[in-house]
Amino acid sequence: MKKLVLLFVCLNLSAQVSKVEPPMWWSGMHNTNLMLTLYGDGLAEYEVTSNNLTITDVVRLESKNYLFVYLDLATTKPGNYQLVLEHSQKASIQIPYELMERREGSAERKGYDSSDFIYLIMPDRFANGDPSNDAHPELLDKPNRKDPWARHGGDLQGIIDHLDYIGELGVTAIWNTPVAEDNDPSGSYHMYAASDVYQIDRRFGSNDLYKKLSAEMKKRNMKLIMDYVVNHWSLEHYMIKDLPAADWINQWDTYTETSHAKEIFTDPYAAESDVKLLIDGWFVESMADLNQKQPQLLSYLTQNAIWWVEYADLSGYRVDTYPYNSRDEITQWTKAIMDEYPNFSIVAESWVINPIHLSYWQKDSPIAAMSGFNSQVTHVKDFALFAAVQDIYQGDTPWWEQKMNKIYKVFQNDFVYANPNDLIVFLENHDTSRINEIASEFYQYKLVTTLLATVRGVPQTYYGTEINMRGAKEKGDADLRRDFPGGWPSDTRTAFNKAGRTEVENNYFDFTAQLFNWRKNEPVIHFGKTMHYAPQNEVYVYFRYTDNKTIMVVLNANDEDQTLNMQRFNQRIGSAQMGKDVFSDAVTPLTGQLPIPANSAKIISFNTP
């Protein structure tokens, strides 16, 4: 009976500690220091001791409910350990803590590069593999598939169930929009307002299921990319409801929205007040703007990002709203991750069109070097190319100009990048009109998708584009994020297999699969050099080449058939006489005149002379 009473007391006292984060850690990390965050009523009144963990510091902030415990793990082996919280007038609290062994080769993990093809998924709208988790009693936003702005029930199991479908397209990496818990009362399906950054949203599944997704992808030689938000959290996050310190978030006398002036870091004349407005202003009222200059918060964010890499065996991050963060601190965050994983990949979302401003955020940028800055970010999104493609189909082209010059001029600016191959190239994402909405004909899709697959950089597509899914930005974001047909048990048909797709959908799917499966096995496209020729009569020609192989790409955006004088391209064709058409396997002469049908794309492969 005495043992039973003691056990009850111990369990009751332990309930005072509601959060221990990170929930576990690993031995043998590059950075051997760890900050444990302990949260519970009145914890700041306790002293922290341990017989077998080296405590170097304990920090208390304004809230009496937090302890930040710093550990030195340089010589600590994997195992189960214990912290003891002691109080002069209260019973002590014992906190178990596990230090795990790292998986073999964890530090050397390889990120994504220009040999990859990334498939972007919004999980809530892709497939519902487990209807039992559509709602959760502790989470506020409930499913209603009839409401385009509500949650629809897509989840991680739905993605796992359709990995083979995704693989058919030649995809080698998957970027999901955020999957950490978002407990906003409405509109939470987009998931960009995290309320618990250590917990996969239980309407998507569980942390274990996320690990399973990663493992299933590894079996298929696919890489998992997590969408991470450093800039803001949901108002429902426990650290926002109970701020550890007033400076944990950026606060104003009245609600103040960010200026969105993302080019400001490359502006030599920028006023300090304008920089502050960009960084400290809030994105929206429902997402608290985090102050990365607060040292405990920065450590918390850094450790959380590293924790997910180790826990879920990630290959990369896509970081949302990158320029909105405090510049030097987000650079520290990035560098800490890259120090742990030198071959890892991080792409910054910097939604700016000018390549000069894009280059600034790429590692070893010659533009940033002018001011002594280096972001440490391996990749940036190529919004310049995205905007050029959009402008071809939505913008005006003066009578003296060619619309294909818009693309040509993008590549003329590649000298501003440290490595143009480390650009993520894309035609759309979850925040833009779908490419099939603005380039609505199949021939247009073939032309721009051929561009996407053959230029420098890492190509990224968006779920459903391969079956001609559409959506217009002017109709609202929900229209860009329609449910994938066949992803729900109640759907009357499925586009996940050939028999369920329409003839048009199969045309799109088959073309995409043929193109990107070809690309998957072409190192000349992944890492080869580029030479291009100024467009003539709306025909843009460029070459990707190595010492052994050459690929000639012809994009004819003219409404009329064109004929190429192949002598113009002698610098690259040299003495080669014949090539092979990648789409048809037909032998193609590389001399004389080459007819190119209106509004078409052609890829010709041949051995470099």
Kindly name the residue from 227, 320, 340, 538 that is annotated as catalytic: 320
Instruction: Give yes or no for a contact between 93 and 9, defined as CB atoms under 8 angstroms apart.
Output: no
Q: How far is CA 492 from the centre of its chain?
A: 32
Instruction: Give yes or no for a contact between 567 and 556, defined as CB atoms under 8 angstroms apart.
Output: no
At 471 the three-state DSSP class reads: coil
- Is residue 349 part of the annotated active site? The answer reads yes
Nearest to 331 by CA among 302, 288, 291: 302
At 91 the three-state DSSP class reads: coil
Instruction: Give yes or no for a contact between 49 and 95, defined as CB atoms under 8 angstroms apart.
Output: no
| Pairwise CA distance, residues 309 & 225, whole Å | 10
| Pairwise CA distance, residues 226 & 469, whole Å | 24
| Pairwise CA distance, residues 240 & 248, whole Å | 8
309, containing H or E segment: helix 295-312
- Is residue 320 part of the annotated active site? The answer reads yes
Nearest to 50 by CA among 9, 22, 79: 79
Q: How far is CA 241 from the centre of its chain?
A: 28
| Pairwise CA distance, residues 68 & 56, whole Å | 11
Strands 539-545 and 549-556: antiparallel
Nearest to 609 by CA among 515, 543, 563: 543
Q: Name the one residue in this structure whose structure tokens are 């290959």.
A: 315
| Pairwise CA distance, residues 314 & 316, whole Å | 6
Nearest to 49 by CA among 20, 30, 71, 33: 71
| Pairwise CA distance, residues 581 & 570, whole Å | 18
Instruction: Give yes or no for a contact between 264 and 315, defined as CB atoms under 8 angstroms apart.
Output: no
Residue 306 CB contacts under 8 Å (≥ 6 apart), including other chains: 29, 336, 337, 340
| Pairwise CA distance, residues 282 & 259, whole Å | 9
Nearest to 43 by CA among 103, 100, 85, 79: 85
Backbone angles phi, psi at 69, to 5 degrees: -105, 120
Token representation of residue 74: 């340089």
Kindly name the residue from 349, 382, 414, 428 that is annotated as catalytic: 349
For the purposes of burial, counting CB atoms within 10 Å of the CB of 199, is it exposed (0-12), middle (13-18) or buried (19 or more)? middle
Annotated catalytic sites, by residue?
320, 349
